[in-house]
Amino acid sequence: IMLLTDPEVESSLLISSDEGATYQKYRLNFYILSLLFHPEQEDWILAYSHDQKLYSSVEFGRRWQMVHERVAPNRFYWSKMGLDKEPGLIHLETSISEGQALYVTCKLQNCTDANKGKPFPGYIDPNSLVVQDEYVFVQVGNSAGRPIYYVSAKRDVFTPMKLPKYTLPKDLHVISTDENRVVAAVQEWNQNETYNLYVSDTSGVYYTLALENVVSSMGPEGNVMIDLYEVAGIKGMFLANKKTDNQVKTHITYNRGRDWRLLQAPRKDLRGNSIHCVLPYCSLHLHLQVSANPYTSGNIASRDSAPGIIVASGSIGSELTSTNVSVFVASDAGNTWRQIFDEEYAVLYLDQGGALVAIRHTPLPIRHLWLSFDEGLQWNKYSFTNTPLFVDGVLGEPGEETLIMTIFGHVSHRSEWQLVKIDFRSIFNRRCTEADYQTWHLLNQGEPCLMGVKRIYRKLKPTSRCVMGKTYSVSMTSGPCDCTEADFECDYGFERRTDGKCTPAFWFHPSSMSRSCTTGMTFLNSTGYRKVVSNNCTAGVSVEYTARRQQCPIQAPKGLHLVTSEGTLSTKLGTNVTFLLFLEEGDGARTSITLDFGDGHALTYSNVSSIEDGIKHIYKAVGIYRVTATGENSLGSETVMLYLHVTCQLEYIHLSAPFVAVRNKEVNLTAVLWPSQVGTVTYIWWIGNNTEPVITLEGSVACTFSREGISTVTVQVSAGNTILQDRKSIAVHEYFRSHLLAFSSNLDDHNPDVAEWRLDVSRVIKNSLIEATGVREDRLLVTVLPGLPTAAEFFLLPDKQLTEGKAEKSYAHLDQLSEVLLNALNQNLVQFTLRPGVQVTVYAAHLSAAPLVDTSENHSGSAMLMLLSLVVVGLAVFVIYKFKRSYQRTPPCTVFQDPKPGRGGRMLGSGSKDQVEKIIINQGMDRTTEIVSKFVYLQVESVLQHSQHKYRK
C-alpha cells in the first residue's frame, strides 16, 4: 500500500508492506504530480513532478532516480512485453523548444545519452506522442499548415497514416487499438462539433470511413469526448451517437463499423403499456458517456464476464434528449431492449453479472437499493441504512466476482463522510451447478454469423438464484461461417456506393498500391475490398473479394521526394540538417541514391532502405544551396531538388501568374505576401529551365518564354529566418482560345479549397470534356480557380500540324473546336461523379453574346468589361470569404495537441495561410481591406495582360 502526503505540507510517501498494519515514511526531494505503475512488475513505478521531471523507482517508491528532464505531461509509457527489446524501456516525449519535441526511449535506471534511442527521425509536435498496445503515433507539422500523422506498428519504422486524400484533418483521436487495428476519430476540414470514425488495416496505415458525424463533447478537463462505446464481452460490437439533420441518433454495429443500424425501441414501457415506435422515424437512443471517476457510474455499462448484458440510460423518440431519461437493459447484445426504470439509476454488476444492483441518481437522501437476479426482469427493494444518506459514490470490492460493495456519502451537508459496507452473500443460499446454466446464441436480427463465426455462450439462467463465484469463467464455442460480401469492407481508396459496391474514389489510382514493390517480390493487388480485421469467415466469396498476390512490376524510379526532417526550407548556420528521401515507385532495394548538398559535398548510398533514418549534414557558410537527390537503377533515373537557405516572419505567399501565355510576349509575375509588411524581403525567381535564379528586392518581375510548352516558375521569398515558396506552371503557345466554366451548386459543398483538390478535379473535368466532345487530350487544358463559388477555365491550344500551314486555317479550326465544346456544355453533356451520389454538371459561364475571344483591334468592349468584372468580383468574394471563415473558426482540443490556436486546431507551419488570416483579422478590418484591394488590383492587372495576349502571335 502506498499513500501520498499533501504536497502543500510536505513531499513524502507512506509505504506499508503488511496490508496497512504499519507504515514507513520516505521523504522526497520532488513533488509528485502523477504516478504510472508497471503493468507486470509491481515494484516498478514512474513519477512525474511539477517541474516536468520524470523519476523511476524499482523498489516500490523507497528509492528514486531521475530519468529525464523537460518531459511532456502524460506523454511517458512503459514498454510492452513481446514488442520492446527489454522490459525496462520507457517511451517518453521531451520538449526541445517551443513548438518542437523529440520521441525518446530510455532504459529504466540508465537513461544516458549513450543509451537513449530516437525511434522517429527529426522533431515531432509537442504533446503528440501516443504509445498504445502495438502502435506508436506521432504528429509532425509541415509547411502547408496541415499536420502529418505517423504510425509505427510493432515498433517498426514510422509511416504516414493514409486517410482518404481530402480528409484534411483538423483533429485526430486514437479511440481503440485492440484486435490489431486502429479506430480513429477524425475531425475533418468542414466539421466543427462532430467527428468521422475511420478504421485501419492491421498495419495501422490505411484507413477507411466507418461512420460519419459522430457527436463529441468537452470533458471536465477540457479533453474531447467522442460518443462511441465499445461493448465489453462481444468482439466487434460498438454503439455510437451520430448527428443527422441536427438530430442525434444512436447506432449499433456488430462487425467493427462495417454496417450500422438504429436501435429498436422496447415494445412496452415499464407499466406494460404499448410503445408505438416505428423505425426509422422512431428508435431508442442512449447516452454513451463513461464515468472517469471509479466511484461513480456512467450512463452505460457492460462487462466481459457478462456478455450480452448492456445497461444504459436514454430516451425513446426521433432523437436523443436529456429530458424524460429512463434506464434500459438488453440481455441479447442489443437486439431487444427493456425499460427497467423511468428515472436515472446507477447500475452495478455483482457476481460477474449474475446479479444487478441499482441505486437512484438523485440529489435527495435515500436509504434503499434495488436488486435483480434475472438480468433486470424483476427487481427487489432492499434497505441499506436506517438513516437516509446523500450518496456520493459506490465502490465494489476488487474483482468482478465480488458480492461486497461500499456506499459512501453523508447524512447532511455538514456531516463527515459515512461508509456503508453491504455484503450480499447472505441473499444467496447455494453455489451454481451445471444445471443453472444455459446456452445463448449471439445473433444480429436473427443472423447467426457475426465476424465470420457463429458464437454460442454459456450463461446463467434468469431463473437461477445462485452464486457463480471466482471459479466461473465465460465459455464460448464458435463455428466458422462461409464468407459473404458482408464480411468485407471497402479497401483504402475505395468508397461504397448506394448499391453496396466498392468503387475507386475520384482521387485514387489503384495501381499506386504496388509502388513500394521490390523486383522479384510480390504484392497484394486490391480488389477494392478487404476482410474486416478479426473476421474469421472461410471459403464462400473469399477468393472473389480477397486481394490477389501478383509479381511486382519492374519500374524505374519515380516520385522521388526530398524534404528536411523539420519540413522547412531554412536552417540556422552550424546546425545538423536531416534530409529525408521517399521513393513512391521503383525498386528501392536496387535503386541507388546520390545526394548533392550543393556545397561541394555529396554522398552516395546503394539503396533507399539504407537511409530510412535520414541523411545529416552541417553547412558551414550562409547562403542558398541547391540540394539535389538522384535515384537510379538499371531502368532509369529521377532527380529532385530543393533550395535550402542557411541563415537567419513571413506567413504566406501567393504567386500570381497566367495559366497560359503567348510565346515571346512579356508576362508579369507578382508575389503577394501576407502580411505585406515584413521588413527587408528578397525574392528569388526560378524561371523555366534557367540554371541561375533572378534575385530582386521587388515583388514583381517581367519575363518572356521563347519556347512553346509547359514552363515552371518558382518564387522563393526570404524574410528574416523564414523561407516560403510558391510554384506555377504556365502553358506557352502561339495563340489559344479560352472560356470560363461554372458548375452545379452541389460541388461547392465538397470544395476544401486546396491546390491538390483543384488539380484532381481539373483532371476529372478535362476527361469529361474529352469524353463528351472527342477533343484530343493535347489540345485541351483545364484549371480550377481558387475560391468559392467553384469556377474553372478551359483553354483550347493550337494543333501542332496546322500551325505549319496558314494561320487563318489554324484560327478557324480553333473556332470550330470552341463551338463543339460550348455546344456540349450548353446541352449539359459534360458531367462527372465526385463521389457516390454526387453528380456534378459543368456549364459554360455565359458572359455575353459577343465572341469568346475577339482577336481584332475592334474587339467587344462590353464582353471584355463583363469578363473583367466577373473575375474581379469573384476574387474579392473569395478573399473576403476566406477571411470571414478563418475569423469564425475556433480550435478544438485534440490528442495531438496544438499549443497555439489556429484555424480549426491545425498544427501550423511556416507556410500556413491560416496563420496569415488570423494575424490579418487581429489587425482590424482596415488591414483586411488593404490586402483585398491589393490582391484584386494584381488580379485585374493579370487579367488585362492575359486578355491582351489571347489569340495573338
Q: What digits encode the pLDDT tens for the residues 521-531?
A: 777 788 899 99
> What mean pLDDT is predicted for residues 304-312?
90
Q: Mean pLDDT over residues 27-41, rounded? A: 89
pLDDT of 482 > 50? The answer is yes
What dotted CATH number matches 558-646? Answer: 2.60.40.10
- Distance separating alpha carbons of residues 20 and 7, to the nearest angstrom: 21
Residue appearing with cell numbers 428508435: 283
pLDDT at 563: 87
- pLDDT by residue (tens digit) across 709-720? 889 999 999 987
Cβ-contact 672, 706 below 8 angstroms: no
Segment 832-859, tens digit of pLDDT: 999 999 999 999 987 543 333 333 333 3
- CA 435/CA 77 separation, integer angstroms: 46
Question: So what's the pLDDT on residue 515?
Answer: 53
- Split at pLDDT 50, 70, 90, the class of 231 is very high
Whether the CB-CB separation of 194 and 188 falls below 8 Å is answered with no
What Cα–Cα distance (Å) separates residue 806 from each residue in 306, 731, 734, 810, 824? Answer: 87, 22, 13, 7, 28
Whether pLDDT at 89 is above 70: yes
* Per-residue model confidence (pLDDT) at position 144: 63
Task: State the amino acid at position 664 in one-letter form.
Answer: N
pLDDT tens digit sequence for 179-197: 889 999 999 999 988 999 9
Tell me if the domain spanning 648-732 has CATH number 2.60.40.10. Answer: yes
CA dist 52 → 73, 93, 313, 898 (Å):
7, 11, 41, 19
Could you tell me which of 244, 245, 222, 31 has the C-alpha nearest to residue 127?
222
**Confidence at residue 526, expressed as pLDDT on a 0 to 100 scale:** 85
Residue among 53, 532, 39, 16 at smallest CA distance from 256: 532
Q: Mind listing the pLDDT tens digit for each residue in 525-552? A: 888 999 998 889 999 998 898 888 877 7
Using pLDDT thresholds of 50, 70 and 90, give the confidence band for residue 73. very high
pLDDT of 463 strictly over 60: yes
Q: Is the pLDDT of residue 742 over 80?
A: yes
Q: Which CATH class is domain 485-551?
A: alpha beta
Fold match, 558-646 / 648-732: yes
CA distance to 73, 105, 117, 742, 852, per residue, from 113 (Å): 21, 10, 9, 61, 70
Determine the Cα–Cα distance for residues 453 and 234; give it in Å rounded to an integer. Answer: 12
Domain boundaries, the chain: 227-429, 485-551, 558-646, 648-732, 737-949
- Residues 491 and 533 sit within 8 Å (Cβ to Cβ): no
The answer, yes or no, to whether residue 874 has pLDDT greater than 80, is no
pLDDT at residue 399, as a whole number: 56
Check residues 849 and 200 and name the one with the higher pLDDT. Answer: 200
Distance CA 346, CA 355 (A): 14
User: 878 CB contacts (<8 Å, ≥6 apart)?
Assistant: 786, 787, 788
570/808: higher pLDDT: 570
